Amino acid sequence: LGVLRVGWIVARPDILERVRGIKDYTTASASNLTQVFADWALQRHEFFRRRARGIVARNRRLLGEALDRIPALHLELPDVGNVVFPHSDVDVTKLERLLIRKYRTVIAHGRFFAARGFRDHFRLGLGGKTPVFQRGLANLRRAAAELT
């Protein structure tokens, strides 16, 4: 469902009316079918919320266990959220390149984020299928060890 890009707005009726008047000019490719799928998903919100929370909880637990085996990474693992920004003792640019080239694993370098001091951090998402996440963590451990 992540590819469904539909816009929703909650506002006063007068604002909704103004927005409705410009929607056709700013929404180039939202098909009626996309709207139907989005509506279907919203009607099943509770199912998707429970599913997402389960995935993130499993992956957060796995990350917590993996951090003990990756001494080059440091993180106070939060109890909530689906994205973390570990600090890396190894050069994040080199880590990123090695992960992509050798392990076909992607991280988002801290330089892509506006906060100061994130050049020695990277973004790591906790979503996605758990077996894929586990492989990514194993690849991260191997790559960090190679660069240490």
pLDDT tens per residue, range 87-125: 999 999 999 999 999 999 999 998 888 667 778 999 999
For 23, residues 6+ apart whose C-beta sits below 8 A from its C-beta are 7
Q: What is the pTM of this model?
A: 0.74
Residues in the chain: 148
**Whole-number Å distance between alpha carbons of 134 and 20:** 44
Nearest by Cα to 139 from 92, 99, 80, 91: 99
Q: What pLDDT does 25 receive? A: 65
For 74, residues 6+ apart whose C-beta sits below 8 A from its C-beta are 86, 87, 88, 89
Nearest by Cα to 7 from 48, 15, 47, 23: 23
Comparing 18-22, 60-64, 80-84, 128-132, the range with the smallest average pLDDT is: 18-22
pLDDT higher at 115 or 40? 40
